[in-house]
């Protein structure tokens, strides 16, 4: 009988972990038309969100905290875009060992002293355009956004 209690506890723990992974937490709202879903992880002072496709691959990700290790450089400025209705720019990045992958990053101030560091990786110009379009539809919970 103790093994039954242990089995029940393990199943309950696995279910709780699955629910936490699919909980959108503090992630911005995704446009329904994208078919994406959030994988969410939280720590004491930050939120980590991955927008996943139906096949489980990452379309883009974002990290919400009071500080970001990413510092945009004007010389890396790439596409102009909007996120949640605010004008912003994407910045080129590199992925070690994968020179054909197009990397973009940006920072968005989302209010309450928080910054969203958003990144994406694309295998082609068409995929880059598609993913940038998906990020344009993000809606953060606060209305006070300002782009960096």
Query: Which of 118, 115, 113 is CA-nearest to residue 103?
Result: 118
Global pTM value: 0.79
* Beta-bridge partners for 17: none
pLDDT in tens, 67-113: 999 999 999 999 999 999 899 999 999 999 999 999 999 999 998 89
Q: Of 3.30.1690, 2.60.120, 1.10.3470, 3.40.50, which CATH number belongs to 2-147?
A: 2.60.120
Domain coordinates in residue numbering, the chain: 2-147
Task: Give the per-residue pLDDT at 14.
Answer: 39
Residue 20 has pLDDT above 50, yes or no: no
What is the 8-class DSSP label of residue 28? P
User: Is 38 within 8 Å of 30 (Cβ atoms)?
Assistant: yes
Distance, in Å, from the CA atom of 60 to the CA atom of 44, rounded to the nearest integer, reads 23
pLDDT in tens, 35-55: 999 999 999 899 999 999 999
């Amino acid at each position: 009988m103790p093994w039954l209690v242990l089995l029940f506890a393990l199943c309950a723990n696995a279910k709780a972990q699955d629910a936490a992974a699919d909980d959108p937490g503090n992630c911005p709202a995704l446009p329904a038309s994208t078919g994406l879903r959030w994988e969410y992880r939280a720590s004491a002072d930050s939120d980590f969100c991955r927008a996943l496709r139906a096949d489980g691959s990452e379309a883009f990700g974002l990290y919400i905290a009071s500080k970001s290790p990413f510092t945009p450089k004007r010389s890396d400025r790439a596409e102009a875009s909007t996120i949640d209705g605010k004008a912003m720019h994407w910045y080129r990045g590199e992925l070690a060992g994968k020179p054909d992958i197009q990397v973009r990053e940006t920072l968005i101030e989302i209010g309450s002293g928080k910054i969203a560091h958003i990144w994406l990786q694309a295998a082609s110009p068409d995929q880059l355009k598609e993913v940038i379009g998906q990020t344009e539809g993000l809606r953060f919970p606060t209305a006070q956004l300002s782009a960096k």
